[in-house]
Amino acid sequence: MLAIAALSTTFLVGPVVAAQADDTSTILKAMSDYVGGQKAISATFDSDIEVITPELQKIQFTSSGEVQLSRPDKLRAKRTGGYADVELVFDGKVLSVLGRNINAYAQLDAPGSVDQAIERLRESFSVAVPGADLLLSKAYDELMAEVVDAKHIGQGVVDGVECEHLAFRNHDVDWQLWIETGSRPIPRKYVITSKTLAGAPQYTVRIKEWRTDAPAAPEKFVFTPPADAKKVDLAAMADIDELPPGTAKGERK
């Protein structure tokens, strides 16, 4: 009798899970299509990154920032925290990264689109734009590339805004996304949880303000370094983030 019950449960759960995954993909694809279709985006955000100390204590570091994007080839992003003040500017030809807290900047010839610039920063120099995957013109393809499980958890509220709550699993990380309901399916909260480190540290981005009604002025994407800033190689700035000096790489998410 128990075997029959278990077998019945298997047949019942299978289609539900499959339907749920389809629903999740539909919601994520709607977000990707909406965001990818916006020619101009400006947003402000708060981000948290957690580390696990050698004593297995979880410590969280917080920063805030803003992003301005003009498709196909203009991007400006900045993030300020207790240990870093970083700005990135891409004008379609040159990538510039400024570390105000170290009074240094680096530049890289990188003609192409915003998508190509984000990919090159991440893959070649380990410099990340917070939540950058959500801004790509084809975010769905990038986000779903290594997903092994997807669930539509239900509804949630982020900063007073009703959202669809999605959860995904990759081999190395779990990640969650809250997407605003209605005619403007924008990302409101993004959480990445590491499965390779004890304590499962997380990286969280919360979108506070999102605008698409007015493109940024062209001068917003012109980089002018401080007069006394030192120019360095971009590889020397790869570790600029919210973490304090001396934090071991193995401790971060």
Contacts of 117 (CB under 8 A, 6+ apart): 73, 75, 90, 95, 110
* pLDDT tens-digit map of 157-189: 999 999 999 999 999 999 999 999 999 999 999
Distance CA(139)–CA(224), nearest Å, equals 30
Contact 187, 31 (CB under 8 A): yes
Q: What is the mean pLDDT of the chain?
A: 85
CATH number for the domain formed by residue range(s) 24-244: 2.50.20.10
Name residue, tokens 């380990």: 126
Contact 165, 178 (CB under 8 A): yes
pLDDT of 127:
67
What is the reported pTM?
0.84
* pLDDT tens-digit map of 32-80: 999 999 999 999 999 999 988 888 899 999 999 999 999 999 999 999 9
| Order of strands, sheet of 173-180, starting from the edge strand that comes earlier in the sequence | 149-158, 161-169, 173-180, 187-194, 202-211, 40-52, 58-70, 74-81, 85-90, 94-99, 104-109, 230-231
Distance CA(122)–CA(219), nearest Å, equals 25
Of 160, 157, 215, 168, the C-alpha closest to 191 is 168
Tell whether the model's pLDDT for residue 28 goes beyond 90: yes
Contacts of 191 (CB under 8 A, 6+ apart): 175, 176, 177, 202, 203, 204
pLDDT of 10:
36
